[in-house]
């Protein structure tokens, strides 16, 4: 079952850069858009979270990826390194992706929030609203064929619902204002605490693969 239900493995991490912008005018424009967006995020002071961050966590991966993974918010390790999903949860996410034939650098990974909430508390509504335009723009630039929302907080804020994650699983949603399918599954950090739930996440991943193949 899915690489022994996700043994930890290392995967290369690719940062967004302007080196992608050498082929055509469109690619140049797109690279400039990514650079401008990164600058906006780095300098953002829209909410109080900027006061205590070490750095913003913009996102990593392939800017033309078919798959986009969206989590909740940076934790302490992500805040230090400036990358989403590092540490044990990041290794498990890498293994989950490998189980469906994807390397970390073949997807784009981002969060609802670009700054870490104090003590890893849940994001507040005004913080999500402040970051919304950044995530919307990332999705608009990438135009993924499918989004995997990992964790209750990410899924609820992404889809603007308050449905429990147990009821969101097994359903196909669409990112608001688009026809991009969204599949919801458990956060890797939760799976580390509750490994028996990995089987359910494996079902979610299989469903996501099927939806992706049908598009």
**In CATH, what number is assigned to the domain containing residue 114?**
3.40.470.10
Asked whether residue 168 is assigned to any structural domain, the reply reads yes
pLDDT at 215 (0 to 100): 82
Distance, in Å, from the CA atom of 200 to the CA atom of 150, rounded to the nearest integer, reads 13
pTM: 0.86
**Phi, psi (rounded to 5 degrees) for 68:** -125, 130
pLDDT at 103 (0 to 100): 97
Asked whether residue 169 is assigned to any structural domain, the reply reads yes
Contact status, residue 45 vs residue 38, Cβ threshold 8 Å: no
pLDDT at 31 (0 to 100): 80
Asked whether residue 90 is assigned to any structural domain, the reply reads yes
Asked whether residue 4 is assigned to any structural domain, the reply reads no
Domain range enclosing 73: 10-214
**Phi, psi (rounded to 5 degrees) for 66:** -75, -30
Convert 45-86 into a string of H (helix), E (strand) and C (coil): CCCHHHHCCCCCCCCEECCCCCEEEEECCCCHHHHHHCCCCC
Q: How many domains does the chain have?
A: 1
Partners of 149 in the beta sheet? 70, 184
**Phi, psi (rounded to 5 degrees) for 13:** -120, 130
Asked whether residue 85 is assigned to any structural domain, the reply reads yes
Q: How many helices (H) and strands (E) does the chain have?
A: 9, 6
pLDDT at 118 (0 to 100): 93
How many other CB atoms are there within 10 angstroms of residue 81's CB atom? 16
Ranges of residues in the chain with a pLDDT under 70 are: 1-28
pLDDT in tens, 171-182: 999 999 999 999
């Amino acid at each position: 079952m899915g690489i022994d239900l996700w043994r930890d493995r290392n995967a290369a991490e690719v940062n967004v850069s302007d080196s992608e912008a050498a082929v055509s005018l469109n690619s140049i424009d797109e690279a400039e858009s990514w650079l401008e967006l990164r600058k906006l995020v780095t300098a953002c002071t829209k909410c109080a979270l900027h006061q205590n961050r070490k750095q913003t966590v913009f996102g990593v991966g392939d800017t033309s990826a078919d798959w986009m993974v969206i989590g909740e918010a940076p934790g302490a390790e992500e805040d230090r390194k400036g990358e989403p999903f590092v540490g044990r949860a990041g290794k498990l996410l890498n293994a989950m992706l490998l189980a469906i034939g994807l390397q970390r650098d073949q997807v784009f990974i981002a969060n609802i929030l670009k700054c870490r909430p104090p003590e890893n508390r849940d994001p507040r509504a005004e913080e999500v609203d402040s970051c919304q335009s950044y995530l919307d723009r990332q999705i608009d630039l990438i135009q993924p064929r499918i989004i995997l929302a990992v964790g209750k907080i990410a899924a609820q804020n992404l889809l603007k619902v308050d449905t429990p994650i147990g009821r969101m699983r097994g359903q196909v949603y669409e990112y608001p204002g688009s026809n991009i399918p969204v599949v919801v599954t458990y956060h890797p950090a939760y799976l580390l605490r509750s490994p028996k739930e990995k089987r359910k996440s494996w079902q979610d991943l299989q469903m996501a693969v099927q939806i992706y193949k049908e598009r």
